[in-house]
Chain A
């Protein structure tokens, strides 16, 4: 398996633009996580899906952020409109049923100018 695949690896966008980050979890995994990593706040959990259903979105900063998981093999994190303070590395991770081992993607480095 290629592991968790995220795209794009790098994204530079202007303030106010819509940004969509993509994630393909490991086949067979039923849990999917989106994290944001910054120097200020460390590694923050944004949202957690189980069997494609959002279980906990309490970490989503505000209404500008939304996440979807239309099927077991794909998830998106959208920011609209984007702001400079959204600049961070965004990670997607997946884990199998009953497993504590979450596998992380390489991350998307987002820069909003």
Chain B
């Protein structure tokens, strides 16, 4: 029979292009917003976080943007590589760590 599950959005990008993954969050009281990456068969792995009083933070090849007005979080990956292919989750840290639904990133060589 047909399986019903979460329909994760998928982003397909060409190797070398920049990727932008978006997330809408719900809890305005969260202290931190965080991005995790999950590769097939593994647990999620921390990428970068941003404190709620900031609007931008840069890491190595990644940038996180926070727009509290519209409760929107984005992850930008520069020069996307095949190894970036994974499911990306945004997460909120208020009094506990809660994850969003995830976005699949596929990198075409």
Contacts and interface: CB of A to CB of B under 8 A. Distances in A.
Nearest to A33: B97
Contacts of A93: 43-44, 97
14 contacts: A33-B97, A38-B5, A42-B102, A45-B98, A55-B96, A56-B95, A56-B96, A91-B44, A93-B44, A100-B49, A100-B97, A101-B49, A103-B46, A104-B43
B6 A48 contact: no
Interface string A19-40: 0000000000000010100111
A78 B45 CA distance: 25
Contacts of B101: 42
B87 to A, nearest CB: 10
Interface string A44-81: 01001000000110000000000000000000000000
Interface residues of B, number: 22
Given A100-B32, A100-B34, A106 B97 contact: no
A38 to B, nearest CB: 8
**Interface SS majority for chain A:** strand
A70 B66 CA distance: 39
A101 B98 CA distance: 13
B25 interface: no
